[in-house]
């Protein structure tokens, strides 16, 4: 027989007496799609352990255009002296010029009911735009005027602006609070060590208050590890902008993502059946993050906000021992989430992941899409670890990993990243390190490869 993945789903709501519909008639089991795909449709009965991959996808469904949360956007922006640097050799625009243009485009995208606040930082903190809710054209005019008045300062003191931003009261209890943090240099006032420590503590507060940081860095003169930790501790995301000219496009896409968020506070728990063990677990949509904090048969983690177009996905590598032959359910995934846009909190959804076994190997069919995702995930891991090895002086091992990653990208037809990664590897072999423009290229490639799976299998906005 030919086996089709079978899933048994259940849904529970903890909102009053709601069971199947909310006040507007929307069926609760249509709020989110939870499904699993396996790397093959059936397994052959063997006397040795076998490996299989499972891709668990979560995506909101059937949300109407008006079903969204008001966006409470707080921006914390670098205006230190380094922002005077031109965005290109033949450009008369500075980094601050394009940053202000990005903010103006952000204002254009805000909708009625959204709120914007802007702090800038140099050697001191300044509120450039007090919390302003979009009600009419005059509100946007005030925003535009405040943005145009932003000017250069001196050093880079971030913590005070972060603290002030975090202390703002939200629009109300039913809004999406998010912060965009942008810099092109190291925090260094009064000292790098103290600033990084204070900022990280503030980020932990941000996670508790539900205001994660989306942190962006451009250029090469900033501490990438610090920005990554700042985003992670807040529950947000770090991204490198390889070319400062792209700030507007990046900000526009991020604001659109925020405006499309309909599921928040999501958490997934996956439990394996006896005879099945987790070997590797990664989030692969909306970007790649490798998890290490899991037990052989148990895994639980918070998930990013789910927007209407992308959702999120978890990739599992599982080993199945021979004693499992003849059984069907290999794991169970449970998701808890809130849909504040519908006034529904405490939802649960679960799925049983099942497979069958056979003595007839001709019945086995491979799922190429899942296998390609496995390859892309592995390539990203190798590329990231390889460049990290090069950065620590381990050139031979690092470039070997980079070369293997380039081969994997080539295998699945991602020629652009493959070529750039191979060029970067050859540069590291020749120079013995990665610095200057090469470091910027490495950060740009890492960012692009982390988003590659999303671009490959979802319909992202262009």
Instruction: Output the DSSP codes for 295-340.
Output: -SSEEEEE-PPEETTT-EEEEEEEEE-GGGTT--EEEEEEEEEEEG
Encoding tokens for residue 227?
A: 């920005």
Alpha-carbon torsion (252, 256, 261, 267), positive or negative: negative
Ranges in the chain annotated CATH 2.60.40.3670? 9-61+265-363
| CATH (one of 1.10.275.30, 3.20.20.105, 2.60.40.3670, 3.40.980.10) for 9-61+265-363 | 2.60.40.3670
- Residue 47, pLDDT score: 86
Mean predicted confidence (pLDDT) in 146-163:
95
**Is the pLDDT confidence value at 268 over 60?**
yes
107-127 pLDDT, tens per residue? 999 999 999 999 999 999 999
Plot region of 432 (φ>0 → left; ψ -120 to 50 → alpha; else → beta): left
| Residue 14 or 214, more confident | 214
29-86 pLDDT, tens per residue? 678 899 999 999 898 888 889 999 999 999 998 777 667 789 999 999 999 999 999 9
Could you tell me the CA-to-CA distances from 75 to 155, 181, 209, 216 in Å, in that order?
Answer: 19, 6, 16, 11
Percent of the chain beyond pLDDT 90? Answer: 75
Least confident of 25-34, 100-109, 139-148: 25-34
Task: Mention the CATH class of domain 71-241.
Answer: alpha beta
Nearest Cα residue to 287 out of 382, 198, 377 = 377
Could you tell me the CA-to-CA distances from 180 to 41, 203, 299 in Å, in that order?
Answer: 43, 12, 30
Asked whether 398 and 386 are in contact (CB, 8 A), the reply is yes
| Euclidean distance between CA atoms 164 and 210, whole angstroms | 15
Q: How confident is the model at residue 28 (pLDDT cuts 50, 70, 90)?
A: low
- Residue 62, pLDDT score: 72
User: What is 114-126 written as a DSSP string?
Assistant: -EEEEEEESSSEE
Ranges in the chain annotated CATH 3.40.50.410? 71-241
Cβ neighbourhood burial of 201 (10 Å; 0-12, 13-18, 19+): middle
Helix axes 368-391, 415-431, angle to 10 degrees: 20
| Residue 391 or 97, more confident | 97
Percent of the chain beyond pLDDT 70? Answer: 91
Asked whether 163 and 154 are in contact (CB, 8 A), the reply is no
355-404 pLDDT, tens per residue? 888 888 899 999 999 999 999 999 999 999 999 999 889 999 999 999 99
Mean per-residue pLDDT of the chain: 89
**Is the pLDDT confidence value at 15 over 70?**
no
398-456 pLDDT, tens per residue? 999 999 999 999 999 999 999 999 999 999 999 998 888 899 999 999 999 999 999 88
- Residue 41, pLDDT score: 87
Phi and psi angles of residue 311, each rounded to the nearest 5 degrees, phi first:
65, -145
Asked whether 71 and 115 are in contact (CB, 8 A), the reply is yes
């Amino acid at each position: 027989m030919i086996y089709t993945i079978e899933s048994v789903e259940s849904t529970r709501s903890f909102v009053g007496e709601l069971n199947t519909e909310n006040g507007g008639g929307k069926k609760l089991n249509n709020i989110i799609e939870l499904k699993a795909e396996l790397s093959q449709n059936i397994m052959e009965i063997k006397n040795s352990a076998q490996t299989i991959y499972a891709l668990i996808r979560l995506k909101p469904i059937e949300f109407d255009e008006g079903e969204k949360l008001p966006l409470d956007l707080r921006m914390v922006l670098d205006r230190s002296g380094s922002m005077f640097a031109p965005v290109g050799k033949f450009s008369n625009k500075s980094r601050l010029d394009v940053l202000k243009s990005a903010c103006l485009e952000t204002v254009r995208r805000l909708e009625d009911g959204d709120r914007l606040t802007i702090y800038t930082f140099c050697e001191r903190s300044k509120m450039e735009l007090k919390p302003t809710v979009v009600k009419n054209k005059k509100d946007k005019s005030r925003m535009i005027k405040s943005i145009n008045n932003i000017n250069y300062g001196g050093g880079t003191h971030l913590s005070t602006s972060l603290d002030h931003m975090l202390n703002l009261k939200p629009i109300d209890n039913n809004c999406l609070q998010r912060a965009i943090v942008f810099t092109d240099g190291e925090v260094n006032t009064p000292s790098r060590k103290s600033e990084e420590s204070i900022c990280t503590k503030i980020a932990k507060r941000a996670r508790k208050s539900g205001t994660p940081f989306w942190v962006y860095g451009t250029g090469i003169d900033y501490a990438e590890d610090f920005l990554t930790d700042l985003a992670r501790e807040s529950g947000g995301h770090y991204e490198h902008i390889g070319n400062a000219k792209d700030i507007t496009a990046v900000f526009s896409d991020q604001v659109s993502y925020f405006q499309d968020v309909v599921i928040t506070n999501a958490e997934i728990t996956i439990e394996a059946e006896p005879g099945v063990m987790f070997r590797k677990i990664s989030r692969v949509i909306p970007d790649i993050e490798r998890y290490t904090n899991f037990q052989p048969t148990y895994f639980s983690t918070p998930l990013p906000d789910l927007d209407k177009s992308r959702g999120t996905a978890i990739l599992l590598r599982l080993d199945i021992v021979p004693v499992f032959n003849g059984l069907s359910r290999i794991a169970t995934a449970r998701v808890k989430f809130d849909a504040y846009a519908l006034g529904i909190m405490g939802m649960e959804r679960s799925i049983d992941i099942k497979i069958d076994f056979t003595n007839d190997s001709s019945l086995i069919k491979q799922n190429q899409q899942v296998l390609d995702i496995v390859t892309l995930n592995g390539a990203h891991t190798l590329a990231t670890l390889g460049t990290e090895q090069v950065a620590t002086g381990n050139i031979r091992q690092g470039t070997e990993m980079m070369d293997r990653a380039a081969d994997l990208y080539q295998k699945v037809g991602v020629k652009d990243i493959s070529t750039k990664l191979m060029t970067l590897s050859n540069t590291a072999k020749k120079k013995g390190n990665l610095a200057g423009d090469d470091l910027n290229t490495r950060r740009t490639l890492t960012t692009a490869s982390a988003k590659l799976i999303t671009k490959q299998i979802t319909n992202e906005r262009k």
